[in-house]
Amino acid sequence: MATVHVNGVDLRVNRYRVGHDGGRTVVVFVHGLGIVDHSGLAFTLGMPLATDAETVLYALRGHGHSQVVPTGYRVADHVADLVALLDALGIDQPVHLVGCSYGGAVVVTAAARHAARVASLFLLDPVLPVPGWPERVLALLEPVAAHLAGGYTIEDVVAALGGVSRRKAAAAARRAERLLLGTTLLDDVRAEGPLAAGDIAGIDCPVRKAAAAARRAERLLLGTTLLDDVRAEGPLAAGDIAGIDCPVVAVYGARSEMVPQAEALVALVPHAEVRLIEGADHLSVFGRTRELGALIRQSV
């Protein structure tokens, strides 16, 4: 892992290749917005694909161990980070971009603005920069920010978690007792609100992880201009999207709320190939790693 300073921000970056010299095939992953970073993708897709290509994963500004800068959370900022990162890493050949969720808006915009840098797009349950996308993202983030600003109890977070093992439950109970009754943690984190219901459902963790996630969400949503930046966003011009001529594959969970955007994508980019993964929604589709890995291999 390395920290690379580009475009005025420190980004945490991982590059992988296994059993080959990397050749000319480079796959760069762009993760989603919120409490996630690139590490989950690194284990489930980045490292497995490294047997066939060089894979590059990094934490978007404000996410994971990348720098939390106070401002600059427009898609254009993330695109500028991405291009500057490729420059800093000495990657001058066109790369295959994998955009996950909000990362889809970043890589589509990158392809539209920097066509010479992009060999193909693989969109994984993407948010696309089409009309209405900021509202779609804000509908998820603004309630979280309201909770964070308005106060909450850690019990709210814990109540959303279930199905734990006896050992985990016992460990969680011990931790909860010590933390909640024996320390000032409750007062300290009361300002760290519950996450969006969808985000909590995807976490499956006891107090410690939930509190950490809440801290990260608070840091990003209340400590930066991210929300204002998203509010100020508009769609990418239809002509710009239509001008994308590299191969495009978009994979959606068949039950994802993102699926309706696929029509807009195909209308603008007729050569885009849309695949559905049955039984998966926006969160669970990222766990279908075997299918996704095979599809990305086919794509690149």
Kindly compute the dihedral angle of the four CA atoms of residues 223, 228, 229, 234, in this order, to the nearest 10 degrees. Answer: 160
Q: Please choose, from the candidates 257, 250, 247, 298, the residue with its C-alpha nearest in 3D space to the C-alpha of residue 274.
A: 250
Helices 166-182 and 207-223 cross at an angle (nearest 10°) of 60
**Residue 139, interface with other proteins (CB under 8 A)?**
no
Should residue 271 be labelled a site residue for other proteins when binding is judged by CB under 8 A? no
* Residue placing its CB nearer to other proteins in the complex, 16 or 133: 16
Strand order in the sheet with 118-124: 2-6, 9-16, 54-58, 26-30, 95-100, 118-124, 248-253, 273-277
Q: Which stretch binds other proteins (CB under 8 A): 133-141, 146-154, 172-180, 275-283?
A: 172-180
Q: Which stretch binds other proteins (CB under 8 A): 138-146, 164-172, 242-250, 267-275?
A: 164-172
44 binds other proteins (CB under 8 A): yes
Q: Does 20 interact with other proteins (rule: CB under 8 A)? A: no
Contact pick of 50, 82, 244, 262 for other proteins (by CB under 8 A): 50
**Tokens encoding 238:** 């239809």
Judged by DSSP in three states, 127 sits in coil
Q: Which is closer to other proteins, CB of 190 or CB of 208?
A: 208
65 touches other proteins (CB under 8 A) = yes
Determine, following the binding rule CB under 8 A, whether residue 167 of this chain makes contact with other proteins. yes
> What's the distance, Cα to Cα, between the start and end of the chain in Å?
24
Stretch that binds other proteins, among 148-156, 231-239, 240-248, 285-293 (CB under 8 A): 285-293
The amino acid at 49: L
Going 199 to 155 to 228 to 65, the CA torsion angle's sign is negative
- 143 touching other proteins, by CB under 8 A: no
- Using CA atoms, how far apart are residues 110 and 112, in angstroms rounded to an integer? 5
Q: Using an 8 Å Cβ cutoff, are 299 and 96 in contact?
A: yes
Q: Write each residue from 88 to 127 as x if it is in contact with other proteins (CB under 8 A), else as -, in one continuous string.
A: ----------------------------------------
The window from 32-40, 112-120, 125-133, 274-282 that contacts other proteins (CB under 8 A) reads 32-40
- Taking CB under 8 A as the rule, does residue 190 contact other proteins? no
Contact 192, 152 (CB under 8 A): yes
Residue ranges in contact with other proteins by CB under 8 A: 1, 14, 16, 18-19, 37, 39-40, 42-44, 47-51, 64-65, 165, 167-168, 171-172, 174-175, 178, 205-206, 208-209, 212, 287, 289-290
